[in-house]
Chains A and B, each alone.
Chain A
Amino acid sequence: MTKKKTDIKGFFKSLPKNIFSGFVVSLIALPLGLGLAMASEAPPIAGVIAAVVGGVLVSILGGSNVTISGPGNGLVGVILVAVATLGLNGTYAAIICSGVLLTLLGFLRMGKLADFFPSSAIQGMLAAIGLIILGKQFHIMMGNEMKLPGSIDYLLAIPSTIIGVFSYNHSGFTYAAISGVIALAIMVFYPKIRNKYFHLVPAPMWIVLISIGVSYFYELVLQQPHPVDPRYMISNIPTGSQIVSDIPTPNFNLVNSIGFWGSVLAITLIASIESLLSIKAVDQLDPEKRRSNVNRDLKALGLATIGSGFLGGLNVVTVIARSSVNVNNGGSNRSSNFAHAIFLVVFILLFSTQLTRIPLPALMAILVYTGYKLASPSKVVKIFKIGKEQLIIFFTTLLVTLFIGLISGILAGVLMTFVIHVILNKDLELFIKNWRKPNVLMFKEKKGDQHYYINVKHFCTFLNFYRLKEKLNAIPETEDVVVDLSLCEFVDHTVMENLSAYQDVFHKRGGHLEIIGLDLHGTDSEHPFALRRLIPGIPFLTDNLTKRQTTLKEIAQDYSLEYEADVKENTEVLDGFRYFQTKKIIKIYNRLFNEDDSFSLFDIHYSEGEFIAKEDVRTTMLHIKLEHAIPEFTLDRDGFMERLYAIAGYDDIPIDNHSDFTKRFYLIGKNPYKVQGYFNDDLVKFFECNSYYHVESDGVSLLIFRSQRTSGIKEIKKLIDFGIRLRKIVVKEALVTY
């Protein structure tokens, strides 16, 4: 009960900040809402209705914390098509149906839906949407509105529109174009101007304010009509009472047609993908690091969409740009979303007539800019860096979306991704045979630090990432997790990117997520998110360091060691150790070592016995060369070592006066007396109060390691620290004895 009280207290305490943040968001939401609705060929007020209904319902029913809901730019493309084929009232019906579907998705817990799409395909789809918005609105921005059959035609007509601007014979069009270009310039240069007062008002609102200011300037000062042609001014913004009286009746007559359901599906698909991606992205921005209830949010968005559709508004989705503005302005809970809706209502009630003073091209410039952002060339460069194959996926999705439609586009992207994966691996069986297998194993290691350990088998791509994701979601972000991909033959870009996002989340919330087992996988590019596959028989590839390897490099610098990722074939130094008497060292790699090689840490790959292939072990070891001789011994926790040594003839050596040590540790050596003499109080105490490692001496050097798998970065740091301290004690002892 007390907790709830403080919650309420905290809520009221943060309310002013949230209301302010809601206000700032509404400044952007107003022009964007108008613009998005007009770009979709719906009445401008439809966008504001969606934002208001969404803001109210989602803030009350939703499951996320700092998101803002409203009309989304991804939907412009699909709603355009819907309006063209179904008419406006038919579109409202489609929107309502998609709201129902969205709610259903929420109830069916399909929040994971977005995971099934490869990232490059989603990028391609978003870019296509960007181009659709940009292509259509560019002409309006330039005062040259036209109607063309396909989205691609609009893009192709851009050059002729630009040339045409200079030959308008009606000054109203020229002024329209000027207002558009100025507005675009404001959008482009806004982030580059560093002035905190200037930044108090967001760029879209500047455009609105300047437009209205110019309009009054002409009216009151110059006493002239507005120079922009009246056709290029925002028209028919209804007043509050008009909105209520003019509520459209959705037209459900087309429910039986295929086109209707095609639109419904497309709207639902895009709405859910856009919302889910936004929620995921916004969760990372949340300063309090809360986890959003995605399914609950979907239900709320669905309900809001139904309501918005009945009131004559567009789809309600979670929007990333407005949400991030919300976070940046101090929004900390859903009340800011509510406040943003209320401010929008106030704006419409008080200023709806003022809004007609805004030239249409200026408003469309905002959309041209957002469209460009979605499809900017830098995105293509980024994808190219990840790999050429990603570019193929990207462009397949992009072009099919532009030429045919959104659903075909995303399906083509998924198909292309799969085909590329099959071609890359030259193996269709790998995917078909193992797709349905529950290939992810997670358990909490009982030994040592109780890490969560996740192992993935066979392959890990967008096809089965949801399984891994399910496991990852079940781990509190404050824990340490090791994700081992060494049994995966193939890991794709979608997984790498998502895992990296998880890494960030864990890192921010005090946990740690480590990816191991990829150091032996090959890649074609140097990007950290490049897909990786295990290529049997091909030698070690080191042209792309994994994240673990780059971190190892950094650790090396921290401890002033050298780092070498390459394979070192010469492993003679290890031959003296009893541990390797029955094992065959295949290679050592990822070495960290000092100048004279007396302190070196490395990943090692060995097999037990010559012909038993399955006993391949990869682990991390520390080797310390000493300047003096010490007795040969092997030390480990009791019970652990017996299984590593099937060699009879050695008994646990008891150390006098340290029965606890003898009980907890297993110590063997060729010469028990020497070993007994060597293990003095200091050394025994050191081992007693540090965590368990397997420590072995071959007479002139020490070999230290722990588990039978490659160590994570944290474990490596611990190992190095353990080694340094152990070396100090051993060296000190040498000085005393000799």
Chain B
Amino acid sequence: MSHTSFKSIAIGIAFSPTLEANVHEAARLCCMFGAKLSLIHVGQRSDEKIRTIDQYIGNDEQSQLSYEIIFNEGDPVEVILETVKKNKIDLLLLGALKQEKFVQFYLGSIARKLTRKATCSVLMMTNPSVIRKPCKHMVVNGLKDAHTERTIETAFYVAHSLGSNQLTIVEEIEQEKISIKIDDDQSLRKANLLKEKLKRQEELRVQGILNHIPSEEKKDIQVSTQPIFGQRGYSIGHYAQIVRADLLVMNAPKKSSFLDRFFPHDLEHILNELPTDVLIVR
């Protein structure tokens, strides 16, 4: 299996105060991946808007960057989704919102819809900034899922492109897997033995995936694994927050239904409170 490569990157832009940071961030990523940038604006075309963006990108001195600005009117979600399909975009960038009182990020309603419906990979940025913030530590999910191998390989590809040197693969083991209920000392001992066994199994599985990855991909990257018992999707975000990871890489969600918004699972938790930048690999 091979990784997803990011050869064309798109960002939806609005002419808001965060525009400059967003454009800089997008341009920088494109340079790192050697990708083409599409800036999608839902609204009317105007020369002034083009000039502003040209100026921002020019300021960044990213001379070899090829980019286009796409103007389109309509419902933002639909316009962006359509453009992504038409232009064969590999990666869509989304900016997160920040909660006023405490340092907590979450996705706005449009970004949320895009994340769920997009056909390409999605990167949610919590802190777009004009000056580059190095991405040093990445946390990747190691779920037991057909898609995981691709996600991990993509994570290595991204780590190389961004110059990260630490990568932690988190194996989330669902609490329900521990069939033994802890009541007293004896059941506690049994439960812990079972946990160790599950951990070993998971570790073995992840090692198997890692063995498939060519060694030059793994070069210069410190790879570690961490098994966690907890609710899928939520605990990995919590973990990424605690270890102060710079990027969290996750599998794309399976189709989510209306009910999932009331009984959040997997990705929905992360969208509610972004622990850090999150990349969803499709």
A residues with a Cβ closer than 8 A to B are: 63, 109, 290-296, 427, 437-443, 446, 455, 457, 473-474, 476, 484, 487, 489, 536, 609, 611-617, 639-640, 642-644, 646, 708-709
Inter-chain contact B235/A489, CB cutoff 8 Å? no
The interface on chain B, measured as residues whose beta carbon lies within 8 A of the other chain's beta carbons, has a size of 44
Inter-chain contact B238/A455, CB cutoff 8 Å? yes
Residue of A109, A294, A441, A611 touching B228 (CB-CB under 8 A): A441
Inter-chain contact A614/B242, CB cutoff 8 Å? no
Residue of A446, A474, A611 touching B188 (CB-CB under 8 A): A474
Set of chain B residues within 8 Å of A293, measured between Cβ atoms: 183-184, 187
Inter-chain contact A643/B229, CB cutoff 8 Å? no
A583 to chain B, nearest CB (A): 12
Give the contacts of B110-138 with A (CB-CB under 8 A): 126-127, 129, 133-134, 136-137
Given A293-B183, A437-B234, A614-B276, are A476 and B129 also a contact pair (CB < 8 Å)? no
Counting CB contacts under 8 A, is B34 at the interface? Answer: no
Inter-chain contact A443/B227, CB cutoff 8 Å? yes
Inter-chain contact B183/A290, CB cutoff 8 Å? no
| Additional pairs, 15, CB under 8 Å, beyond known A296-B183, A443-B227, A473-B188 | A292-B184, A437-B269, A441-B230, A441-B235, A441-B239, A442-B228, A442-B229, A455-B242, A474-B191, A474-B192, A614-B127, A643-B136, A643-B137, A643-B164, A709-B242
- Which chain A residue has the least Cβ–Cβ distance from B234? A438
Set of chain A residues within 8 Å of B242, measured between Cβ atoms: 441, 455, 484, 487, 709
Set of chain A residues within 8 Å of B225, measured between Cβ atoms: 446
A510 to chain B, nearest CB (A): 13
Set of chain A residues within 8 Å of B103, measured between Cβ atoms: 613-614, 616
Q: Once the chains are docked, how many angstroms separate the CA of A639 from the CA of B241? A: 21
Counting CB contacts under 8 A, is B189 at the interface? Answer: yes
Q: Which 5 A-B residue pairs are closest in the complex by CB-CB distance?
A: A293-B183, A438-B231, A441-B238, A639-B222, A293-B184
Residue of B129, B229, B241 touching A487 (CB-CB under 8 A): B241
Set of chain B residues within 8 Å of A441, measured between Cβ atoms: 228, 230, 235, 238-239, 242
Inter-chain contact A290/B184, CB cutoff 8 Å? yes
A467 to chain B, nearest CB (A): 10
- Which chain A residue has the least Cβ–Cβ distance from B230? A441
Q: Once the chains are docked, how many angstroms separate the CA of A311 from the CA of B208? A: 65
Inter-chain contact B184/A443, CB cutoff 8 Å? no
Q: Once the chains are docked, how many angstroms separate the CA of A232 from the CA of B49? A: 98
A249 to chain B, nearest CB (A): 37
Set of chain A residues within 8 Å of B126, measured between Cβ atoms: 614
Selected A-B contacts with CB under 8 Å, 20 pairs = A291-B188, A295-B183, A438-B231, A438-B234, A439-B238, A440-B230, A443-B229, A455-B238, A473-B182, A474-B182, A476-B189, A476-B192, A484-B242, A487-B242, A489-B102, A536-B101, A609-B133, A614-B103, A614-B276, A709-B242
Given A474-B188, A613-B103, are A438 and B165 also a contact pair (CB < 8 Å)? no
Q: Once the chains are docked, how many angstroms separate the CA of A614 from the CA of B272? A: 16
Give the contacts of B155-210 with A (CB-CB under 8 A): 163-166, 181-185, 187-189, 191-192
B156 to chain A, nearest CB (A): 16
B145 to chain A, nearest CB (A): 20
Set of chain B residues within 8 Å of A643, measured between Cβ atoms: 136-137, 164-166, 222
Counting CB contacts under 8 A, is B109 at the interface? Answer: no
Inter-chain contact B133/A612, CB cutoff 8 Å? yes
Counting CB contacts under 8 A, is B7 at the interface? Answer: no
Given A441-B228, A473-B182, A643-B137, are A612 and B235 also a contact pair (CB < 8 Å)? no
Set of chain A residues within 8 Å of B184, measured between Cβ atoms: 63, 290-293
Counting CB contacts under 8 A, is B45 at the interface? Answer: no
Set of chain B residues within 8 Å of A615, measured between Cβ atoms: 244
- Which chain A residue has the least Cβ–Cβ distance from B276? A614
Set of chain A residues within 8 Å of B228, measured between Cβ atoms: 441-443
B150 to chain A, nearest CB (A): 25
Counting CB contacts under 8 A, is B224 at the interface? Answer: yes
B22 to chain A, nearest CB (A): 16
Counting CB contacts under 8 A, is B4 at the interface? Answer: no
Counting CB contacts under 8 A, is B226 at the interface? Answer: yes
Residue from A63, A296, A427, A639 having most chain B Cβ neighbours under 10 A: A639
B residues with a Cβ closer than 8 A to A are: 101-103, 126-127, 129, 133-134, 136-137, 163-166, 181-185, 187-189, 191-192, 222, 224-231, 234-235, 238-239, 241-244, 269, 272, 276
Set of chain A residues within 8 Å of B134, measured between Cβ atoms: 646
Set of chain A residues within 8 Å of B165, measured between Cβ atoms: 642-643
- Which chain A residue has the least Cβ–Cβ distance from B242? A455
- Which chain A residue has the least Cβ–Cβ distance from B191? A474
Inter-chain contact B222/A63, CB cutoff 8 Å? no
Given A296-B183, A441-B235, A474-B182, are A446 and B192 also a contact pair (CB < 8 Å)? no
Set of chain A residues within 8 Å of B231, measured between Cβ atoms: 438
B107 to chain A, nearest CB (A): 14
Inter-chain contact A646/B136, CB cutoff 8 Å? yes
Inter-chain contact A63/B276, CB cutoff 8 Å? no
Set of chain A residues within 8 Å of B243, measured between Cβ atoms: 708
Set of chain A residues within 8 Å of B241, measured between Cβ atoms: 457, 487
A29 to chain B, nearest CB (A): 26
Residue of B102, B129, B183 touching A63 (CB-CB under 8 A): B183
Inter-chain contact A536/B185, CB cutoff 8 Å? no
Set of chain A residues within 8 Å of B163, measured between Cβ atoms: 646
A35 to chain B, nearest CB (A): 34
A640 to chain B, nearest CB (A): 8
Q: Once the chains are docked, how many angstroms separate the CA of A293 from the CA of B225? A: 34
- Which chain B residue has the least Cβ–Cβ distance from A426? B101
Inter-chain contact B238/A457, CB cutoff 8 Å? yes
Q: Once the chains are docked, how many angstroms separate the CA of A613 from the CA of B101? A: 13
- Which chain A residue has the least Cβ–Cβ distance from B103? A613
B224 to chain A, nearest CB (A): 7
B6 to chain A, nearest CB (A): 22
B265 to chain A, nearest CB (A): 11
- Which chain A residue has the least Cβ–Cβ distance from B263? A436
B108 to chain A, nearest CB (A): 16
Inter-chain contact A617/B133, CB cutoff 8 Å? no
A617 to chain B, nearest CB (A): 7
- Which chain A residue has the least Cβ–Cβ distance from B183? A293
Residue from A290, A292, A446, A614 having most chain B Cβ neighbours under 10 A: A614
- Which chain A residue has the least Cβ–Cβ distance from B164? A643
Residue of B191, B234, B244 touching A617 (CB-CB under 8 A): B244
Inter-chain contact B129/A612, CB cutoff 8 Å? yes
Set of chain B residues within 8 Å of A639, measured between Cβ atoms: 166, 222
Residue of A295, A484, A611 touching B129 (CB-CB under 8 A): A611
Set of chain A residues within 8 Å of B269, measured between Cβ atoms: 437
A15 to chain B, nearest CB (A): 22
Inter-chain contact B127/A612, CB cutoff 8 Å? yes
Given A438-B230, A443-B239, A536-B101, are A290 and B185 also a contact pair (CB < 8 Å)? yes
Q: Once the chains are docked, how many angstroms separate the CA of A442 from the CA of B234? A: 12
Inter-chain contact B244/A446, CB cutoff 8 Å? no
Residue of B127, B188, B230 touching A442 (CB-CB under 8 A): B230
Set of chain A residues within 8 Å of B129, measured between Cβ atoms: 611-612
Inter-chain contact B181/A109, CB cutoff 8 Å? yes
Inter-chain contact A294/B183, CB cutoff 8 Å? yes
B204 to chain A, nearest CB (A): 16
Q: Once the chains are docked, how many angstroms separate the CA of A609 from the CA of B243? A: 17
Q: Once the chains are docked, how many angstroms separate the CA of A640 from the CA of B243? A: 13
Residue from B101, B137, B163, B269 having most chain A Cβ neighbours under 10 A: B101
Q: Once the chains are docked, how many angstroms separate the CA of A241 from the CA of B6? A: 89
Q: Once the chains are docked, how many angstroms separate the CA of A455 from the CA of B230? A: 12
Q: Once the chains are docked, how many angstroms separate the CA of A296 from the CA of B181? A: 12
